[in-house]
Amino acid sequence: MDLGEARHAFVSGGASGIGLAIADALAARGLRVTIADLNDEALAAVLAERGAHFRGVRLDVRDRAGWQRAKAEAEAAFGPVDILVNNAGIASDGKTLADMPPESFDRVIAINLTGVFNGVSTFAAGLRDRGRGHIVNTASMSGMVADLPGLGSYSPSKFGVVAMSETLRLEMAPHGVGVSVLCPSYVATNLMANTLRAGGQLSDPSASLLAAPMKPPEVGEMVARAIEEGRFYIFTHASRREAVEERHAAIVADFERM
């Protein structure tokens, strides 16, 4: 998509980390941006720093009525949404599946997977009807390869986002709407703090990703370029390619054993 023709982006989980970096990258290309987030303080700080091309709305991505209110407010202010970024998410509690409280599993699925669907459900029909636009769904490398224990809710949620995005791409392409799925590895974000803020649990409450070498602005630029180039998969860490190749080789090998 030519971002020079886009006017308005809506970014969930947009007040910090990867979401804010994507918002900044799109704003730098001339878009007005609505950022949606649960963190009122972060929203206020972003809006104070970035001026009239940004607006904010408090949104829990599990709240379908809240999505409808957010859409109405956003489009009343900035016009129809051209770019939807479903970025909000939380981490797993780190427990094995055998020991995971069902409510912990449900929370991660509700935010990471159903929250993405709620965004699609709110905006995709309008994009399709206008015959233009782009949707970016944030998954994870844990949605491509499940190779770490303790992610028994997180990986399924992110695999689900990849599958949903693949289906959405097929459905939206005939109508001129692009779809991308972002699969980052470790990026310096406040995912852990946001998990606790959303009512989630962590096996180590002091855990942090903030020391990760890759910083959010790098990812924001990757996403903006991918939208412009019409790319579907957006990977951030070439070092994870081998794990993906090994997984797919194992799948093919078992077909050959039939």
| CATH code where residue 30 lies | 3.40.50.720
Set 54, 154, 159, 235: catalytic member: 154
Q: What is the pTM of this model?
A: 0.96
What digits encode the pLDDT tens for the residues 138-166?
999 999 999 999 999 999 999 999 999 99
CA distances from 173 to 24, 121, 124, 179, 206 (A): 26, 16, 12, 8, 43
The mean pLDDT value for 235-258 works out to 97
Per-residue confidence at 53, pLDDT binned at 50, 70, 90? very high
Instruction: Give pLDDT, residue 177.
Output: 98
Domain count, the chain: 1
Instruction: Give pLDDT, residue 95.
Output: 94
Instruction: Give pLDDT, residue 226.
Output: 98
Determine the straight-line distance between the first and last CA of the chain, rounded to whole angstroms.
43
Instruction: Give residue 65's Cα distance to chain centre.
Output: 20
Nearest to 87 by CA among 116, 127, 46, 52: 116
What digits encode the pLDDT tens for the residues 58-73?
999 999 999 999 999 9
| CA–CA distance, 57 with 234 (Å, rounded to integer) | 27
Asked if 186 is an active-site residue, the reply is no
Which residue range is the domain that position 134 belongs to?
A: 3-256
What digits encode the pLDDT tens for the residues 17-51?
999 999 999 999 999 999 999 999 999 999 999 98
- CB burial of residue 10 (10 Å; 0-12, 13-18, 19+): buried
pLDDT at 203 over 80: no
What digits encode the pLDDT tens for the residues 95-105?
999 999 999 99
Instruction: Give pLDDT, residue 40.
Output: 95
Tokens found for residue 201? 């649990």
What digits encode the pLDDT tens for the residues 9-24?
999 999 999 999 999 9
